[in-house]
Structure 1
Amino acid sequence: MTNFVSRLELGGAGPAIAIKDSIDIAGYPTVAGSRALADAPPAAEHAEVISRLVDAGWSIIGKTTMHELAFGISGINEFAGTAVNAQAPDRIPGGSSSGSAAAVAAGEVGIALGTDTGGSIRMPAACCGVAGLKPTFGRVSRRGVHPAQSSLDCVGPFARSVDGIVAAMSVIAPGFDLQRARNANQPFRIGLLTNVECEASLLQAVEAAVGQSGLAIQPVRLEGMAAAYQAGMRVINVETWAAFGHLTDTGALQPDVQQRLLAARGVSPDELARAEVVRHQFSAELDALLDTADAIALPTLPDLPPLLADVRAGKPILNLTSLVRPFNLSGHPALTLPVPLPNTTLKAGLQLVGRKHDDETLCAIAFRIEQAVEQATAARGAAA
């Protein structure tokens, strides 16, 4: 039960799915991994994504644990439970959608929903070695999702393969074109991002996986990444303080979340205004780059997921979101795909970023790379 906070039997006999405990399910409290919300009343109605799943006959099997208030990236939660990273139990599962990623990685469920405000789907997916999609901002309804107001947060799916991602999107995203999302045999163009600061082996794994796809590849740069990362931090701090700052008076928050919330209140109006200028500039830079490529490829994480013991001992890990958070600020869809990492059983995360509102093309490119990697891996196995 470590990856789940509760088990449910809701919906029909369709595909099984687990739900992050920041998404309302009627009749059950939405605790968001927080002791401060332990006495929350049951939700009065389903979040829109839950209604869509139930109406489509999917089977909701449980609520998953998460980093408290979705305001942390380790996934460590001493109240609701820390999810177990199936591919490396001594390493963090990532956050904040830790339980959803871990449940998929452990084979407890084929598909799960999470939320992503600053990397909270892609980061745990990469930590646990599964696929995860942050859709275009606004493509999937946030009605009934906590916090209620956010200019960054997106609901999206985890799965063991891209096929599970597109199956979920075909239900939760109105108008999602399932056929186009599976049409991988197109002459896609990939922009390989070169100005990223990360562990060399991770970048090499991404380059190898993209190269195996047979797609046209060109080196590209995004000069605004660092500024977008910092601006995204300011926006999330302002919006999370507005949503949950009152809980700092309860004495019930985990120390890390308490400290981050108190620090978040220090963002000035001028700092927020400058962050919004960066949002506009970075989004425009990325839009222009995506006029010359169908997707941008880069690692999901700058390093391997750290050891749980090190994080509990105080190792700083905020930089793990340096390659994911900028795309929350811009609102572009971003998908992470597990790819082989030589000399280890761990997987690297390959992140693909696509055009706004064209999540289908992003999924199709991910299909193409996933198939190529699987074929190359099988060929190496046969040769051995």
Structure 2
Amino acid sequence: MNEFIQALSLGGTGPTIAIKDTIDIAGYATTAASRALADTHPAVQHAEVVERLLDAGWHIVGKANMHELAFGMTGINDYTGTPQNPQDASRIPGGSSSGSAAAVGLKLADAALGTDTGGSIRGPAACCGVIGLKPTCGRVSRRGVAPRESTLDCVGPFARDMQTIVAVMQAITGDFDMRAAHAPQTGAWNVGIVQVDATPEILKAVTRAVRQADGTARTVNLAGLAAAFEAGVSIINAETSRAFGHLVATGKLGADLDARLRAAAKTTAAQCDAAESVRKQFTAAVDHALESVDVLILPTLPALPITLDEARGGTSVIAMSSLIRPFNLSGHPALSLPLPIDGSPLKAGLQIVGRRGADEQVCAIAAHFEAALAA
């Protein structure tokens, strides 16, 4: 695997797509970009999402690189290589679906599939200046996706435009309503701007985006956002430790993964129980907030991505997921759309969160924002 994708050619003559290396493709090993899994036997059958893409005529061009074992936010991988951030080669591409976002941003594929357990689609999308969608939890099949068991993880698409996002969703989701996903946003529609901590430039850009899109906005104080972030960390640590903790004994993990898995193994049952309580409370809070608005919007990331040198020097990146990880816990669909910033060549991310099961409405509203921001 190079720093972007392991090239292959599979399927029809339709649009091209890359598949994250946690998703099975028959005949190829699913290694999660880890030396510890390098000798894994090839998958004997396609993941369900791969089967659906092939049935729909998509052309698979490669397995996308990633942060090792899908357990990191930077996208740095010293074993398989670190994908280049298409917006700024000096900055991190974001993780864990780094190769998927970078491949789309650099036009190596029309689309890509990633997985999002704690922001791993939306974070790289915001870093790399592309669109990334985490569907409603459970809406898209995870059969044939690693880790095999997860209460947070979702498979979803990356693309450079909303039309392609919708096309991928139609292919991988059996009941996706194309008409609703393409519905024009005419008449009165309401957005709730969630009050969060982020850089002034990004917060200003979010407010400006609503104005450009002619939405009716109100501010929303979303109770429990910080607690949901912490709960999401506890659950991902416990579930990832169960899935991959045994690999520490191989001595083949990258230094960051070795340290993270050792720490994750210390997650207690009491922490998990408390996290599940927070999950119920926060899910109810998001549901309640969405009773009075069509979608919630907030930044995808609280700041622009740090540089590779800063990340390698030890700068903490855990706060990167402070605004995205909570919606893995609640299960709501959430999309990151490139967001222009005044005075910067880099785009941030506008996160659009919808009601559970209303992925089509999130796509339709995102397409409206896309058109307004391009005007």
Task: Provide the secondary structure at the position in 2 that maps to 1:50.
Answer: helix
Instruction: Report the alpha carbon displacement of residue 208 of structure 1 after superposing the two structures with TM.
Output: 0.7
2:204 alignment partner in structure 1: 204
1:315 alignment partner in structure 2: 315
CA distance in 2, matches of 1:132, 1:13: 24
1:64 alignment partner in structure 2: 64
Residue 217, structure 1, aligned to residue 228, structure 2: no
1:79 alignment partner in structure 2: 79
2:356 alignment partner in structure 1: 356
CA distance in 1, matches of 2:139, 2:224: 24
CA distance in 1, matches of 2:265, 2:5: 30
CA distance in 1, matches of 2:213, 2:70: 35
Task: Provide the secondary structure at the position in 2 that maps to 1:361.
Answer: helix
Aligned residue runs from structure 1 range 152-163, under 5 A: 152-163=152-163
1:192 alignment partner in structure 2: 193
| 1:102-138 Cα deviation digits (max 9, x unpaired) | 0111111111000000000000000000000000000
1:104 alignment partner in structure 2: 104
Counterpart residue identity of residue 173, structure 2: A
Taking structure 1 as the reference length, what is the TM-score of the superposition?
Answer: 0.96
Aligned residue runs from structure 1 range 1-80, under 5 A: 2-80=2-80
| 1:175-207 Cα deviation digits (max 9, x unpaired) | 10111101132332100112x111111111111
CA distance in 2, matches of 1:288, 1:252: 46
CA distance in 1, matches of 2:166, 2:5: 26
| 1:156-190 Cα deviation digits (max 9, x unpaired) | 00000111111100010111011110113233210
Note if contact 1:131-1:158 (Cα within 8 Å) is conserved in structure 2. Answer: yes
Counterpart residue identity of residue 192, structure 2: G
Instruction: Report the alpha carbon displacement of residue 4 of structure 1 after superposing the two structures with TM.
Output: 3.0
1:379 alignment partner in structure 2: none
Task: Provide the secondary structure at the position in 1 that maps to 2:201.
Answer: helix
Instruction: Report the alpha carbon displacement of residue 57 of structure 1 after superposing the two structures with TM.
Output: 1.0
RMSD of equivalent CA atoms: 0.8
Counterpart residue identity of residue 231, structure 2: A
2:302 alignment partner in structure 1: 302
Note if contact 2:97-2:120 (Cα within 8 Å) is conserved in structure 1. Answer: yes
Note if contact 1:4-1:62 (Cα within 8 Å) is conserved in structure 2. Answer: no
2:233 alignment partner in structure 1: 233
CA distance in 2, matches of 1:165, 1:210: 21
2:151 alignment partner in structure 1: 151
Aligned residue runs from structure 1 range 278-357, under 5 A: 278-357=278-357
Instruction: Report the alpha carbon displacement of residue 5 of structure 1 after superposing the two structures with TM.
Output: 3.8
Residue 164, structure 1, aligned to residue 156, structure 2: no
Taking structure 2 as the reference length, what is the TM-score of the superposition?
Answer: 0.99
Counterpart residue identity of residue 38, structure 2: A
CA distance in 2, matches of 1:134, 1:154: 6
Note if contact 2:5-2:103 (Cα within 8 Å) is conserved in structure 1. Answer: no
Note if contact 1:3-1:103 (Cα within 8 Å) is conserved in structure 2. Answer: no
CA distance in 1, matches of 2:268, 2:108: 44
Structure 2 CA distance for partners of 1:232 and 1:225, relative to 1, 3 Å: same
Structure 1, 339-348 or 46-55: larger mean CA deviation: 339-348
Counterpart residue identity of residue 64, structure 1: A
Task: Provide the secondary structure at the position in 2 that maps to 1:66.
Answer: coil
% identical aligned pairs: 55
CA distance in 2, matches of 1:361, 1:368: 11
The unaligned stretches of length 5 or more in structure 1 are 376-384
Counterpart residue identity of residue 304, structure 2: L
CA distance in 1, matches of 2:101, 2:184: 25
| Equivalences, count | 374
| 1:262-298 Cα deviation digits (max 9, x unpaired) | 1001111111001000000000000011000110000
Provide runs of 4+ in structure 1 moved above 4 Å: none
CA distance in 1, matches of 2:35, 2:218: 49
| 1:11-60 Cα deviation digits (max 9, x unpaired) | 10111100101100000000101000000000010000000001111100
Instruction: Report the alpha carbon displacement of residue 3 of structure 1 after superposing the two structures with TM.
Output: 4.0
Task: Provide the secondary structure at the position in 2 that maps to 1:9.
Answer: strand
Note if contact 1:188-1:365 (Cα within 8 Å) is conserved in structure 2. Answer: no
| 1:225-274 Cα deviation digits (max 9, x unpaired) | 00000000000000000000000000000111111101001111111001
Note if contact 2:5-2:18 (Cα within 8 Å) is conserved in structure 1. Answer: no
CA distance in 2, matches of 1:192, 1:4: 35
1:256 alignment partner in structure 2: 256
1:266 alignment partner in structure 2: 266
Counterpart residue identity of residue 357, structure 1: G
Counterpart residue identity of residue 74, structure 2: S
| 1:75-111 Cα deviation digits (max 9, x unpaired) | 0001111000011000000000000000111111111
CA distance in 2, matches of 1:22, 1:210: 36
Aligned residue runs from structure 1 range 118-157, under 5 A: 118-157=118-157
